[in-house]
Structure 1
């Protein structure tokens, strides 16, 4: 099939009318269907997640009378894998929200039916809803939120100590990678001082404004950490091991490292908190992190205009992200739920990790939703090089402003 033919098939007026009608219907019990008209769907779940979804999918199959083939796929490469050949890709697939813009712009995914958009808005926390939207329209179904948090060793730091970066580094040690920067972890410092990335809405191509005095102050702060006795440069790969052997008493990382961190320092010694404040350019600000939203999206291309199959795909995406499924993902994989009801449940609020992530992702004071523009691909590469310069010495203080201004221009010019 030619490059754009599949887009025309799934967006025809007749097909969309049928999809909207079928998708709006709900089935509460199993329905009879013959083998000849039974709908078959392909589902891509995150790597190592298949077992956690098997019971959920079986319940869906029984309720809807469809068959679902579950395949594990690296969701960090979702847009790449789906765009490669949409017709052969999954009907429903998981993805991180920052890939949403690329998939929408390329025509791979469409705005979800109004019924589901309303449910997404009503049932999920505000930032998660924003992660499922692009240019004001809803294109996917959120099922989890994530951000980095602070892990600290309770035998070396108290809950009060970790409220401030300066206190952490004066009483103990903090570890992070500044020689080779991971932009996901470090770039939000620019947002902590009030600068923007692709504008306030995260969708304005020429809206990045790091080339100013506040941006220079961040660059100088990064350079100053080389002389901070309480700062230890550790790579992302060694952060948990250095946390475990006592080289550092605090690190900033995410739920994905929770089990390893607990094993490294012991359950009783592992403390978890929201990000500390930090003093940059003489001003004390709340350090921010990027917020990520875990999504399921529907790819209509495999259905080739079959409204029944497309409607079933939307039902599956909604089912995989409902409250019960999110409860299961929290229990089995430590995925912090985006559903408001589940997030406020005793199981979540009594969990130290979940409480910290929920606090981070529930407030714009602590997190910024990662933008979803195509230009993010350029951002990750260019910002990492830019932000590693001050600590490594590859960028001199006299060049900070010029480098930042050029960075702003380069991002704005990216197509």
Structure 2
């Protein structure tokens, strides 16, 4: 076990570290890095410039320098775990990586001061995304959910409240021949089934092997003969939207500009997911909610508690109301704030995309905070295969229940 791991596990729980941070550490300077007054920061790709002002403010207030490096969020876990001691002190990550980083001992519970601030200032769903097994390990700065994009020259606001109305008056597009489980698997949530239990942290808590789960697979299979449904793939979503082959599809904020370009800003509208009729029951279609986070990696500080404290302070600055407002207003970023005050600002209130995402992320009626368990790797692969094979007719209806029961067992046994 490396020295820094012994430190974190043996004596530097955050409860202890936070009480030490205010003390003078003459001995700690000997074990600190070659440049203890410089904090390495990994920000999302394309975000470096948008953080310039807040980083300068932190440097002035803290007397620490910050080395800002753009890094791909989805690879945060992989890069940090490879060698924590040479990785960033502070880094951005999608919340679903949190559990594995905590289990690996890479990140620790944050000081109580910041936990209280997050609970007070951030939305309930965003705060949940920063927690693992009841403890807060990171700082939220944005939320992300799929929403419904539609062409308002073809469909009215009333039409898009119902999937059945959309597909009777125009065409809805989605990827079912080759399923993206992130987009499609939450259909099981819509009928009351669970993914890793109520809070997404129970390994034995997936229960798709029931009649409700079977009804979802029947619905998936039925879309192949639905005249109002158009199967899409990764390469033709915008072209089909642009040429009118589909009038509505579901995606996240990352597709907003492309959707505007496809049909014209004047024709694009964005709203929450529609209701959907599955097995004769009208239910609210649900999605996964993603939470954007900043976390602190103590390893590069090599026991220097002042630098660790400064790293937490930097994470707090990066996720403050001021910073979140800036990230939202920055063109091309489309980061929907998780801070309640910023969500209530005029700029956010008057933004159609933001309002749709915020409503989707407002409660479990519309979304589930994506689980953080390492077993999600198995979940993505196996659920996508079942859903795709169902649409493509590779699974007989008589085998639906058995397939789903085996899926539940596979997840419970996954590591």
User: Which range, TM-score by smaller chain?
Assistant: over 0.9
Aligned to 1:29: none
Calculate the aligned-residue CA RMSD, in Å: 1.5
Aligned to 1:60: 58
Q: Give CA deviations for 1:385-413 in whole Å, capped at 9, x if unaligned.
A: 01111111111111111100000000000
Q: Give CA deviations for 1:190-230 in whole Å, capped at 9, x if unaligned.
A: 00000000001110000000000000000000000000000
SS of structure 2 residue aligned to 1:207: coil
Structure 1 stretch displaced more, 59-68 or 210-219:
59-68
Instruction: Give me the whole-angstrom Cα distance separating, in 2, the residues matched to 1:18 and 1:196.
Output: 37
Aligned to 1:342: 342
Instruction: Give me the whole-angstrom Cα distance separating, in 1, the residues matched to 2:86 and 2:395.
Output: 46
Aligned to 2:204: 206
Instruction: Give me the whole-angstrom Cα distance separating, in 1, the residues matched to 2:241 and 2:258.
Output: 10
Aligned to 1:196: 194
Count of aligned pairs = 403
Q: How does 1:157-236 map to 2 (within 5 A)?
A: 157-236=155-234
SS of structure 2 residue aligned to 1:6: helix
Cα shift at 1:242: 1.2
Q: Give CA deviations for 1:316-350 in whole Å, capped at 9, x if unaligned.
A: 00110000000000011110000000011111011
Return closer, same or farther for 1:17/1:126 CA change in 2, 3 Å cut-off.
closer
* TM-score, normalised by the number of residues in structure 1: 0.95
Q: How does 1:250-265 map to 2 (within 5 A)?
A: 250-265=248-263
Q: How does 1:12-91 map to 2 (within 5 A)?
A: 12-13=10-11, 19-21=17-19, 39-91=37-89
Q: How does 1:386-405 map to 2 (within 5 A)?
A: 386-405=386-405
Aligned to 1:406: 406
Matched, 1:331 2:345: no
User: Which of 280, 298, 311 does residue 278 from structure 2 map onto?
Assistant: 280
SS of structure 1 residue aligned to 2:385: helix
Instruction: Give me the whole-angstrom Cα distance separating, in 2, the residues matched to 1:207 and 1:74.
Output: 31
Aligned to 1:370: 370
Cα shift at 1:19: 3.4
Kept after mapping to 2: 8 A contact 1:24/1:115:
no
Stretches of structure 1 lacking an aligned partner (at least 5 in a row): 26-35
Return closer, same or farther for 1:14/1:228 CA change in 2, 3 Å cut-off.
closer
SS of structure 1 residue aligned to 2:235: helix
Kept after mapping to 1: 8 A contact 2:95/2:291:
yes
Return closer, same or farther for 1:16/1:405 CA change in 2, 3 Å cut-off.
closer
SS of structure 2 residue aligned to 1:59: helix
Return closer, same or farther for 1:323/1:229 CA change in 2, 3 Å cut-off.
same
Structure 1 stretch displaced more, 260-269 or 9-18:
9-18
Aligned to 2:31: none
Aligned to 1:351: 351
Return closer, same or farther for 1:221/1:70 CA change in 2, 3 Å cut-off.
same
Return closer, same or farther for 1:19/1:209 CA change in 2, 3 Å cut-off.
same
Q: Give CA deviations for 1:340-375 in whole Å, capped at 9, x if unaligned.
A: 000111110110000000000012111011010110
Instruction: Give me the whole-angstrom Cα distance separating, in 2, the residues matched to 1:193 and 1:390.
Output: 18
* TM-score, normalised by the number of residues in structure 2: 0.95
Kept after mapping to 2: 8 A contact 1:15/1:305:
no
Q: Give CA deviations for 1:280-337 in whole Å, capped at 9, x if unaligned.
A: 0111100000000000000001111110110110000011000000000001111000
Instruction: Give me the whole-angstrom Cα distance separating, in 1, the residues matched to 2:294 and 2:236.
Output: 32
Stretches of structure 2 lacking an aligned partner (at least 5 in a row): 24-33
Cα shift at 1:22: 6.4
Kept after mapping to 2: 8 A contact 1:176/1:236:
no
SS of structure 2 residue aligned to 1:371: coil
